[in-house]
């Protein structure tokens, strides 16, 4: 097994929490365990499914599992899946605890650093009257204590700091030193598929801590950039992180992606990256309608997610659905069952404007973003994309 994870390769910035030797060793162990689970254990679950679990299901039901629910029922009765699932959940709990321990002991220092970088900066626009959607505040998404929106002290950034530092545990170095593989992938995809595309305004919906915002902003320095995000702690951290990495052009706006405070027909690129599976079924069409409203003729919208379930074998669907069942992702299953191209059409795009594609994280210097050798059903640095390109003003593809 290759070493997936080197702390020395981590992209540093002023907001990244400090870690002790033992804390780094803990993240390192988690990263290697995650990889062992993907490469060493996941294949044994497939073997157990083929040789034992589906046979047991057939004996009871008189037929093979033919849907993800039936495949899940077969798997959940089998000790191989039970062990894999328990380890995966326990790894996620451990990763969250490890990150939380790191950030809580330096909560005041992190808040002070963010405050120092953020004070008086016009591009950070927090709205104290804004109430984040209930689906973000009601649960701790993917077992992250407090989710994205919780604030336990003034200027709290412990949630995003935990997310940032702990991501090294869950994805190793596979997204690159700055966890920006999706953003770099968007830039590369646009270069290859729309070489003449020069956006004047970019809107990044659900920008989080800005991991994937910065490479897009840096690739198109001429563009006005709006990063829309519901959670104040994320925005505080994201703005300060961006400044400390030398990116000062992004406007970080607290708003709901279903109601973006920008004029209609004003944007050339509107995208989401790993956002839709964390938004409610009711919010999804409203976000797509905002994309349709915001885009100019010739504009492009891209939505990066894990692949949809449609057309995939029941076993793979059941494995991919683990996050929906056991990782506190209430919208995961529904999103991956949704036909996003059809949803884009229902939200105001013409059928001929729609496309589906794939975006892959380009390798970074030194190969730090090397792709995992094995499919691990959810953590590889490649994304399914549902997108649309608005026809030009004359009705042509711009």
Ligand X SMILES: C[S@@+](CC[C@H](N)C(=O)[O-])C[C@H]1O[C@@H](n2cnc3c(N)ncnc32)[C@H](O)[C@@H]1O
Site residues for ligand X per CB under 6 A: 133, 136, 148, 182, 206-208, 211-212, 228-231, 234, 256-258, 273-275, 278-279, 283
In the complex with ligand X, the residue whose CB is nearer, 54 or 254, is: 254
In the complex with ligand X, the residue whose CB is nearer, 133 or 297, is: 133
Determine the Cα–Cα distance for residues 7 and 26; give it in Å rounded to an integer.
11
In the complex with ligand X, the residue whose CB is nearer, 16 or 257, is: 257
Asked if residue 46 lies in contact with residue 315, where contact means CB atoms within 8 angstroms, the answer is yes
Report, in Å, the least distance between residue 92 CB and ligand X: 14
- Any idea what DSSP says for residue 397? B
Backbone angles phi, psi at 194, to 5 degrees: -145, 65
Determine the Cα–Cα distance for residues 120 and 107; give it in Å rounded to an integer.
21
How many C-beta neighbours within 10 Å does residue 279 have?
23
In the complex with ligand X, the residue whose CB is nearer, 53 or 161, is: 161
Report, in Å, the least distance between residue 246 CB and ligand X: 19
Asked if residue 386 lies in contact with residue 379, where contact means CB atoms within 8 angstroms, the answer is no
Classified as helix, coil or strand, 304 is strand
Report, in Å, the least distance between residue 286 CB and ligand X: 8
284 closest CA partner among 303, 261, 306? 303
In the complex with ligand X, the residue whose CB is nearer, 30 or 231, is: 231
Report, in Å, the least distance between residue 282 CB and ligand X: 10
Report, in Å, the least distance between residue 117 CB and ligand X: 19
In the complex with ligand X, the residue whose CB is nearer, 132 or 363, is: 132
The token pair at 28 is 């390192």
Determine the Cα–Cα distance for residues 206 and 279; give it in Å rounded to an integer.
10
In the complex with ligand X, the residue whose CB is nearer, 80 or 254, is: 254
Report, in Å, the least distance between residue 120 CB and ligand X: 24
In the complex with ligand X, the residue whose CB is nearer, 45 or 103, is: 103
170 closest CA partner among 92, 68, 101, 222? 92
Report, in Å, the least distance between residue 258 CB and ligand X: 6
> What is the residue whose two structure tokens read 């992004």?
250
The token pair at 125 is 């626009």
Taking CB positions, which residue lies at the least distance from ligand X?
208
Report, in Å, the least distance between residue 279 CB and ligand X: 4
Determine the Cα–Cα distance for residues 27 and 98; give it in Å rounded to an integer.
7
Q: What's the Rg (C-alpha) of the chain? A: 21
């Amino acid at each position: 097994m290759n070493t997936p994870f080197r702390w020395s390769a981590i992209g540093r910035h002023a907001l990244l929490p400090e870690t002790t030797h033992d804390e780094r060793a803990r993240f390192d162990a988690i990263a290697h365990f995650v990889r062992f689970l993907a490469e060493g254990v996941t294949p044994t679950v497939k073997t157990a499914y083929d040789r034992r679990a589906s046979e047991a299901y057939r004996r009871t039901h008189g037929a093979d599992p033919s849907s993800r629910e039936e495949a899940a029922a077969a798997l959940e009765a089998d000790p191989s899946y039970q062990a894999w699932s328990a380890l995966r959940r326990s790894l996620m709990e451990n990763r969250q605890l490890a990150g939380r321990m790191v950030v809580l002991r330096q909560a005041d220092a992190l808040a002070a650093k963010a405050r120092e970088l953020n004070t008086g900066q016009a591009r950070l626009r927090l709205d104290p009257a804004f109430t984040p959607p209930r689906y973000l505040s009601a649960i701790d998404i993917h077992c992250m204590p407090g989710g994205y929106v919780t604030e336990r002290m003034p200027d709290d950034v412990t949630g995003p700091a935990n997310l940032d530092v702990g991501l090294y545990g869950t994805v190793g170095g596979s997204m690159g030193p700055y966890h920006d593989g999706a953003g770099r992938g968007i830039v590369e995809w646009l270069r290859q598929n729309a070489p003449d595309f020069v956006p004047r305004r970019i809107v990044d919906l659900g920008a989080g801590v800005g991991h994937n915002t910065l490479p897009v902003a840096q690739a198109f320095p001429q563009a006005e950039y709006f990063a829309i995000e519901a959670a104040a702690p994320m925005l505080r951290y994201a703005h300060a992180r961006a400044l400390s990495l030398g990116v000062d052009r992004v406007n970080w706006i607290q708003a709901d992606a279903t109601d973006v405070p920008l004029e209609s027909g004003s944007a050339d690129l509107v995208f989401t990256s790993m956002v839709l599976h964390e938004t409610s079924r009711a919010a999804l069409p409203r976000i797509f309608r905002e994309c349709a409203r915001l885009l100019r003729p010739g504009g492009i919208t891209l939505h990066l997610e894990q692949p949809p379930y449609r057309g995939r074998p029941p076993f793979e669907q059941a494995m991919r659905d683990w996050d929906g069942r056991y990782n506190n992702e209430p919208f995961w299953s529904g999103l991956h069952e949704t036909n996003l191209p059809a949803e884009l059409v229902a939200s105001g795009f013409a059928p001929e404007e729609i496309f589906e594609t794939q975006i892959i994280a380009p390798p970074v210097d030194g190969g730090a973003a090397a792709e995992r050798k094995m499919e691990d059903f959810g953590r590889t640095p490649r994304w399914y994309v549902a997108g649309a390109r608005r026809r030009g003003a004359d009705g042509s593809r711009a």
